[in-house]
Amino acid sequence: MPTFADKVIAFNTSLRFTAPLPAGISVMNPFKENKDSVKVSSAFYKKYYNDNNHRNIILGINPGRFGAGLTGVPFTDPKRLVEKCAIPYPGSPAHEPSSVFIYQMIEAYGGTESFYGKFYINSICPLGFTIKNNLGKEVNYNFYDNRALAEAAYDFIVHSIKKQIGFGIHTDTCFCLGSGKNEKFLRKLNEQHRFFKQITALEHPRFVMQYKSKNMQDYIDKYLAAFSMVK
């Protein structure tokens, strides 16, 4: 019988985004573009999810270039993968602010074993997007910031959420990371498809690190209080 880890790994390696993209936007698929992502993410899931237990789901926006874009693990940059999860990463030790917050929260929760034994993190859109800025530099792009992109990604998102629920996800509560546009999109999606009984929104780690870093502990406490409400 496939474990939770087996299902996640199969899902990741099968991800394809085939819908036409708006001009200037590119899809980011770490499982196809980065030879290390499948190896290190598989090691991560085999370490923490090699069982048939059910878990609660946490959904962010879409993967970032320096977190899941490199490791294949949402909100886990190479530094945290090595230092907090003890999983080797063969590339450069990239840093993503959101990953810093998530792993401080996980430590406060009780550590990686306890947290990942109860929660599974991914994104509403499990593949990322990039666009070139005015300086010609490739930067992250949120799927909901372009109506045409959100529409192009809609079927892919719906299929992906359904597939992940099948891993063994509790559907009473979905935690949404992002209390603005991401929450609005997910609530509308959930009204249409009834994936979850309720959505609990939390401030996105990037927002906390960029604008509220002095109050980080308050947001960690808020996360922990929300997570304590589920089985």
Res. 127 pLDDT band, cuts 50 70 90? very high
pLDDT one-digit tens code per residue, 146-185: 999 999 999 999 999 999 999 999 999 999 999 999 999 9
pLDDT of residue 93 exceeding 90: no
What whole-number distance in Å separates Cα of residue 8 and Cα of residue 4? 6
Architecture of domain 4-227: 3-Layer(aba) Sandwich (3.40)
- Mean of per-residue pLDDT scores for the chain: 96
Q: Which residues 6+ apart lie within 8 Å of 194 measured at CB?
A: none
pLDDT of residue 124 exceeding 90: yes
pLDDT of residue 34 exceeding 90: no
* Both tokens assigned to 152: 């192009």
* Both tokens assigned to 89: 């990463």
pLDDT of residue 51 exceeding 90: yes
Res. 20 pLDDT band, cuts 50 70 90? very high
Please state the rounded mean pLDDT for residues 115-141. 94
Q: What element of type H or E holds 160?
A: helix 147-165
pTM score of the predicted model: 0.96
Res. 134 pLDDT band, cuts 50 70 90? confident
Q: Above pLDDT 70, what percent of the chain?
A: 100
